[in-house]
Chain A
Amino acid sequence: MAPLAEPKSLAWSSSSSLSSLLRDLPIVFAALALFFTLLSLAHYWASPVSTQAAIRLDPDALPKYAVFSLARITIAYFFSLMLTLVYAYVAAHNARAERFLIPLLDTLQSIPVLSFLPPVMVAMVSLFPTRQLGVELGSILLIMTGQVWNMTFSVYSSMKSIPREMTEAAETYRLSWWQRFIQLELPYSAIGLVWNSMMSVAGGWFFLMACEMFVLGNHDLRLPGLGSYLQTATNAGDTRAILWGLTVMIAVIVLIDQLVWRPMIAWSEKFKFEQVEASQTPQSPVLDLLRRSRILARTARATVAPAREALTLYFAREHAARHSGPRGRLWGKWIARVLSVAALLGVLYAIGKMTGMLAALSRPELRTIFVGAGATFLRVEFTLLLAGLWTIPAGVYIGLRPKLAAIAQPIAQIAASVPATALFPIVLLFLIRAGGGLGIGSIVLLLLGTQWYVLFNVIAGATSIPTDLKEVCDVFGLSRFERWRRLLLPGIFPYLITGFVTASGGAWNASIVAEYFSFKNQTFSITGLGAVISHATDTGNFRMLLGSTVVMAVIVVTVNRLLWRPLYALANTRFKLES
């Protein structure tokens, strides 16, 4: 048997080795390029601090800036991923920790990025006082605070919703925590994680300008990157440079979408928890290329597979040993107790400090905060109203026409991935020329940042309305008004709520960049909580920053609990279209 098979397989491999080499060429080049980039980044990070780096506005400086920004976002994303996995795992597995971690997550999510700036920066710069690395890490952590929370929520809720019989199978068959994580929990969370990662990274681009260039007290910090390039160009009023910067940013975003997210989405299709094969699955040529590559396959077989095997076997044996040996190590329990007491004391101390600081707020300061909160509240709700007004008819129109939806959806996705902050200088230039100010501008910016969530969801909702219900409307000759009232609005309701929940949270967070803007060395701002936060950051007024952040967090959490959650529950019971 063996001698027969051998020459055959040899012939096969020699005939195709050339073509397989050709197929692998792009991957080889990509790997080399990546190596070079890492090398130069390391060189830069190890260099002494230069926070006042002059940002050159030449277009040929852009590739380097794009690489710097991309590296920051990528590293921030990987930190986010690590934190997400640990946080979500602990919250999903430890009921006692869950009771504390989930409300904490809810609150952290509602704190705007800029409020994290002072503590993060001070900590990082004091950690690495002489190296560029400190400021860089600060910027990365800042980007991360805008990315991590929704990923964590997604993984946590996925892990909690694993069907009972699956977890029972894992338990009966004695899977170690590692095998359970690798073979059950992570795959089950994969789809949600990929989509949320995509949204998170988009959020990273949105806040890039704020994260790469900021004033902290009397320090004017700027890091070379696309965000600081755009900010500098805006300050200088250099339209040409703004356009160049925008073009490069959009190009990078589209490229990342094609090279990373499309393949990821197509790949994660494998983790869909369904029992039947779907008729239409997302495709990605890049993924096909990677899948066909022999170099990658061989590398994986030589590295990943043995490592995974060894790890799983190691944890399996450890699991069995622990089970047969004496259980419940006493000192482990004590360490946990000591740690939780210490954490509790820390929290109490922080609360005490915070209350002291808040109590020191003067009456006019409080007035500023609350008036700002009111203004931003109205602005956000008005934005949502505007978004609803145009996206509902447009989304339903598109959603009811499958052919149109197939064309419109990818275009809308690209449009949505362009960070509104980057467009802002142009919008503002236009508005100022047309005689408007930041009042309209801020709403336009909020709209640009949030309407897409609503639009996508409305399209998805309209697509899912069953044909037979539409036919019933035709048969009974319902008027256009009746049709909207009886079928279309109730039909898209659950999707609409989902869209609004996401948009509302996003709008609050975006208000910090929308209400306060430096342009041509001049600061434009309007009344609003976002402006208060931005201003407090710029002037290093920690008391105001703390006060306004707490107010914003409280408002966002309250609105979520009192308005969106009940609506969400209603949508899932009364307006659910069951097949």
Chain B
Amino acid sequence: MNSAAAEKLRASVAQGKWDQAVAMFQRLDPAAAADLLMHLPFEQQQILFRKITAEFAAALVASLPYYHAYVLLHSRPAEEMSAVVDKMNPGERLQFFDELPEEAWQRLMDELAQKPLPAAPPAEGAAVEELVEAGRAALAVESIIEARGIEKSFERPDGGQMLVIAPTDLSVVPGEIIALLGPSGSGKSTLLRILSGLAQPSAGEVLWHGKPLSDSLPNVAIVFQSFALFPWLTVLENVEVPLLARGVEHEERHTRALRTLAAVGLEGFETAYPKDLSGGMKQRVGFARALAVEPEILFMDEPFSALDVLTAENLRSELLELWTGKKMPTRSIFLVTHNIEEAVLLGDRIIVLGRNPARIRADFRVPLAQPRERHSAEFLLYVDYIYKLITQPELQPGPPSERPAKAAYQMLPHARPGGIAGLLELLYDHDGREDLYRVAEELRMEVDDLLPIVEATVLLGFAKSDKGDLEITPSGKVFAEADITTRRTLFRDAALANVTLLEQMHGALTSKSDHAMPLDFFRDILDEHFAGPEVQRQIETALNWGRYGDLFTYDPGSDRVLLEQPASSVEAPGLH
């Protein structure tokens, strides 16, 4: 992209010279224009998108991510919307429609078919002015936290370094809720701890208002997944803890704590102990303790995941109410979650992390107004997009060239054979193809639980994952139709053909004369490829799969794997 042009465009947008900006913008190549557009504040994107010609808009729609194109498209009046769609190249239009999740596609079809009479909103001019103002404000802010090239690595047992967070740039600006999303074990929590100053990065630096974080006293607070309340202190005393630490005198401390407790709906619970409260109430105390210090940034580490669904929903909406109603002095919220819907529900900006090592795979804004409707087409659009992003390793922003021919050891997803079979049966019943977010909805599973099963099914060649859809393969179909014994044979064949580790374990056992190997042998090999706890999980999964596929058995007493013997001679594992 021509950076000089980008700077010029940005400048004219910031000054509100829209005609000049539009002229400049339309001279750009559509792909470059789309890229540039994504880097502007959303309000300015909307204005630009509304002002450009239908032809150029059509070209842009084809170049933008579909979820973003869809939302921008809706910033134009309905009849213009269909004009833009009409002007699209037929092939690109087909692809755009194809990528949309069903609800969004359906709604777009309805809107295009209706073509309501052009009743231009009278206040449109004013609205544009408002948006310009907002856009200007958004551009002027400076970031509170800025991380530059931070990375984190741990020492491996053999002395080497294991990178858990790849070099990452990230900044937190005022006025936004950032939702950091990623599969479990992707380093989300580590990233949160580095940004909040609890942990030090191995390289790079974190700036707090432009100064190194380690030299400043960042005014931050953290809400923890496990609440981390002191059980021997009353609710009031718990909220007073951080105030006391800041040297606030008794009287004022008391008043401030009471005020915060009232704000989170805990009036009357001051003298209760945490153990007397329900999970949701405990987390309210956690919020009150965090808000009592009036933090500039409120960090939240999976704050709702220890709560039941209804309580979590309730707390989320109350948090939003406090936030949108500006009833809390906090300037930004940084939320770590593994729940996709939660991220889309709360986040103004969503950052998706990949793993091994953690890196930012996507960082985008969610320009939907609060409160958001879970079943609206726009909402599902984002959910669907994130599913696609997470389930498809190759769908990465950046050059699509890199994909190692075949990794020495794939990371085995921690799924049980039973889960894999269950997923295949569900797919089979749904005629072999389904949207992933629908599967998750039907199974009432969170992405964290579902994803390993999907990955395992794909790894074994029983299904293909394609843009957020999951499709059963012929071998998967055979598996779904088979009885239990045949399934184990099919599983065995699939595992030997697709899983390097299992193939090697089996090979080693077959070639050894006593058909036995100490498990430590394989642990040592894996040590060079995975970080400490992951090695154990890899081994557990491999044992689980190997036992199911009758590849080998495991003797916990001697910590050895043995080649599967004829059933009669296998000793039942007893207590002694």
* A174/B241 in contact, CB under 8 A: no
* A172/B275 in contact, CB under 8 A: no
Q: Which of B227-235, B355-363, B392-400, B459-467 contacts A (4 or more CB under 8 A)?
A: B227-235
A456 to chain B, nearest CB (A): 24
| B: number of interface residues (CB 8 Å) | 33
A319 within 8 A of B: yes
* B226/A163 in contact, CB under 8 A: yes
* A173/B241 in contact, CB under 8 A: yes
CA distance A276 to B196 in the complex (A): 30
* A174/B242 in contact, CB under 8 A: yes
* A316/B228 in contact, CB under 8 A: no
* A316/B244 in contact, CB under 8 A: yes
B106 to chain A, nearest CB (A): 44
CA distance A500 to B444 in the complex (A): 48
**A273 to chain B: closest residue by CB:** B231
* A277/B275 in contact, CB under 8 A: yes
Q: Which of B14-22, B147-155, B215-223, B561-569 contacts A (4 or more CB under 8 A)?
A: B215-223
Q: Which of B199-238 contact A (CB under 8 A)?
A: 217, 220-222, 224-226, 228, 230-233
A496 to chain B, nearest CB (A): 14
Tally the A-B contacts, defined by beta carbons under 8 Å.
Answer: 83
B576 within 8 A of A: yes
* A168/B198 in contact, CB under 8 A: yes
| Residues from chain B with Cβ under 8 Å of A320 in the complex | 217, 246-247
A173-B242, A187-B232 known; 19 other A-B pairs, CB under 8 Å?
A163-B226, A168-B198, A168-B224, A172-B196, A172-B222, A173-B221, A173-B289, A174-B245, A175-B242, A176-B245, A184-B230, A190-B232, A270-B232, A271-B232, A313-B244, A313-B247, A316-B244, A320-B247, A324-B217
| Residues from chain B with Cβ under 8 Å of A277 in the complex | 275-276
**A277 to chain B: closest residue by CB:** B275
A323 within 8 A of B: yes
Q: Which of B536-576 contact A (CB under 8 A)?
A: 556, 575-576
| Residues from chain A with Cβ under 8 Å of B196 in the complex | 172
| Residues from chain A with Cβ under 8 Å of B276 in the complex | 277
* B224/A169 in contact, CB under 8 A: yes
Known: A171-B198, A317-B247. A187 touches B230 (CB 8 A): yes
Known: A183-B241, A275-B275. A323 touches B228 (CB 8 A): no
| Residues from chain B with Cβ under 8 Å of A317 in the complex | 247
**A309 to chain B: closest residue by CB:** B250
CA distance A271 to B289 in the complex (A): 20
A270 to chain B, nearest CB (A): 5
CA distance A168 to B225 in the complex (A): 12
| Residues from chain A with Cβ under 8 Å of B220 in the complex | 172
* A175/B231 in contact, CB under 8 A: no
Known: A323-B217, A490-B575. A163 touches B228 (CB 8 A): yes
* B222/A168 in contact, CB under 8 A: yes
CA distance A462 to B198 in the complex (A): 44
* A313/B241 in contact, CB under 8 A: no
Q: Which of A178-236 contact B (CB under 8 A)?
A: 179, 183-184, 187, 190
CA distance A282 to B496 in the complex (A): 58
A471 within 8 A of B: no
B158 within 8 A of A: no
| Residues from chain A with Cβ under 8 Å of B275 in the complex | 274-277
- A residues with a Cβ closer than 8 A to B are 163, 165-166, 168-169, 171-176, 179, 183-184, 187, 190, 270-277, 309, 312-313, 316-317, 319-320, 323-324, 485-486, 490, 574
* A271/B231 in contact, CB under 8 A: yes
B365 within 8 A of A: no
CA distance A184 to B230 in the complex (A): 7
* B226/A165 in contact, CB under 8 A: yes
CA distance A277 to B278 in the complex (A): 11
* B231/A168 in contact, CB under 8 A: no
Known: A171-B198, A271-B232, A486-B575. A319 touches B217 (CB 8 A): no
> Of A319, A324, A574, which contacts B556 at CB under 8 A?
A574
| Residues from chain A with Cβ under 8 Å of B442 in the complex | none
| Residues from chain A with Cβ under 8 Å of B232 in the complex | 187, 190, 270-271
CA distance A345 to B406 in the complex (A): 58
CA distance A250 to B329 in the complex (A): 63
B293 within 8 A of A: yes
User: What 6 pairs across the A-B complex have the smallest Cβ distances?
Assistant: A173-B242, A165-B228, A169-B228, A316-B247, A165-B224, A187-B232
| Residues from chain A with Cβ under 8 Å of B575 in the complex | 485-486, 490
B523 within 8 A of A: no
A184 to chain B, nearest CB (A): 6
CA distance A309 to B243 in the complex (A): 12
- B residues with a Cβ closer than 8 A to A are 193, 196-198, 217, 220-222, 224-226, 228, 230-233, 241-242, 244-247, 249-250, 274-276, 282, 289, 293, 556, 575-576
B462 to chain A, nearest CB (A): 32
CA distance A324 to B214 in the complex (A): 10
| Residues from chain B with Cβ under 8 Å of A319 in the complex | 245
CA distance A165 to B282 in the complex (A): 15
Known: A172-B196, A275-B274. A313 touches B249 (CB 8 A): yes
A360 to chain B, nearest CB (A): 46
**B282 to chain A: closest residue by CB:** A275
**A174 to chain B: closest residue by CB:** B245
CA distance A169 to B292 in the complex (A): 14
* B245/A173 in contact, CB under 8 A: yes
B224 to chain A, nearest CB (A): 4
CA distance A320 to B217 in the complex (A): 9
> Of B231, B242, B246, which contacts A274 at CB under 8 A?
B231
B302 to chain A, nearest CB (A): 11
**A274 to chain B: closest residue by CB:** B275
CA distance A172 to B249 in the complex (A): 20
CA distance A485 to B289 in the complex (A): 52
A-B contact pairs, 9 of them (CB 8 A): A166-B228, A172-B196, A183-B241, A184-B230, A187-B230, A275-B274, A316-B244, A320-B217, A490-B575
| Residues from chain A with Cβ under 8 Å of B241 in the complex | 173, 175, 179, 183
**B216 to chain A: closest residue by CB:** A324
A316 to chain B, nearest CB (A): 4
**B299 to chain A: closest residue by CB:** A172
Centre residue among A165, A271, A276, A324 by max chain B CB count within 10 A: A165
CA distance A183 to B244 in the complex (A): 11
CA distance A78 to B15 in the complex (A): 74
B276 to chain A, nearest CB (A): 6
| Residues from chain B with Cβ under 8 Å of A312 in the complex | 244
Known: A183-B233, A271-B232. A175 touches B226 (CB 8 A): no
| Residues from chain B with Cβ under 8 Å of A163 in the complex | 226, 228
B303 to chain A, nearest CB (A): 12
| Residues from chain A with Cβ under 8 Å of B217 in the complex | 174, 320, 323-324
B560 to chain A, nearest CB (A): 16
| Residues from chain B with Cβ under 8 Å of A176 in the complex | 245
B195 to chain A, nearest CB (A): 12
**A323 to chain B: closest residue by CB:** B217
Known: A168-B228, A276-B275. A316 touches B245 (CB 8 A): yes
Centre residue among A169, A273, A274, A275 by max chain B CB count within 10 A: A169
> Of B197, B231, B244, B576, which contacts A275 at CB under 8 A?
B231
* A179/B230 in contact, CB under 8 A: no
CA distance A209 to B233 in the complex (A): 43
| Residues from chain A with Cβ under 8 Å of B197 in the complex | 172
* B230/A183 in contact, CB under 8 A: yes
CA distance A169 to B193 in the complex (A): 11
A180 to chain B, nearest CB (A): 9
B416 to chain A, nearest CB (A): 18
CA distance A172 to B289 in the complex (A): 11
| Residues from chain A with Cβ under 8 Å of B293 in the complex | 173
CA distance A39 to B575 in the complex (A): 63
